[in-house]
Amino acid sequence: MQIQMDEINPGKQSFHPEVAQGEWMLPAAALDRFEPPANIALAAAVEKEAVRYGFRIGSLGFLIKLGTGSEIMQVPVIWSLPGAPPWLLGLINLRGSLVPVYELRQVLGLARRETGEKTQVMVFDQGDKAVGIMIDDFPKPLAGLNPSPNLPQLPSVLNGHVRTGYIKDGMIWLEFDHASFFEEIVRAGS
């Protein structure tokens, strides 16, 4: 049994002049011709706000750059490097890749970490681009960030690596470009 379009939609014309009787329309053309029935209200597409993650180092809050892979681990064995600056704690072995681990409190001129203070290592990126830092607590999800009109006075080493900030629950979260920051540190150390 063959059903005609006129039987489904009585009173509606099913003939399209650009398509000959019995031929199929290309899918893109069929989609372009779609007109919803008048009695159906279409909801506007709602853009879902991206949840950002932030971590703290001392009194500073940093946002993980969108699209950046990262992972958290309890402090693993860190192998020190003779002659390295004190803020370069050493290297860890992460699935066969050697990853440098930095203590940014020292780089940023913040108070030293207290003995026994809870810490984790956060590793940004993978492979030869991977870099680890000591952070004060697990990163937390942050939604509803409001752009900050001004940035607070920041340590000079962050110049060029923090362009904007956001406010959430009375704390400023800095948009941190870790890649350019560590590239500059490596260049300055060599």
Per DSSP, 79 falls in state B
Q: Phi first, then psi: what are they for 55, rounded to 5°?
A: -135, 160
Q: Within 10 A of 96 (CB to CB), how many other CB atoms are there?
A: 6
Residue scoring higher pLDDT (77 or 25) = 77
- CA-closest candidate to residue 76, choices 55, 98, 96, 94: 94
pTM score: 0.68
- Span 145-167, average pLDDT: 90
Cα torsion 175, 177, 182, 187: sign: negative
Q: Within 10 A of 19 (CB to CB), how many other CB atoms are there?
A: 14
Cα torsion 99, 120, 54, 69: sign: positive
Alpha helices in the chain (DSSP H): 5-8, 27-32, 104-108, 178-189
The pLDDT tens digits for 86-108 are 889 999 999 889 999 999 998 88
Largest CA distance in the chain: 86
The pLDDT tens digits for 23-65 are 777 777 766 766 766 666 555 444 455 688 999 998 899 999 8
pLDDT at residue 78 tops 70? yes
SS (H, E, C) 136-160: CCCCEEECCCEECCCCCCCCHHHCC
Superfamily of domain 52-189: CheA-289, Domain 4 (2.40.50.180)
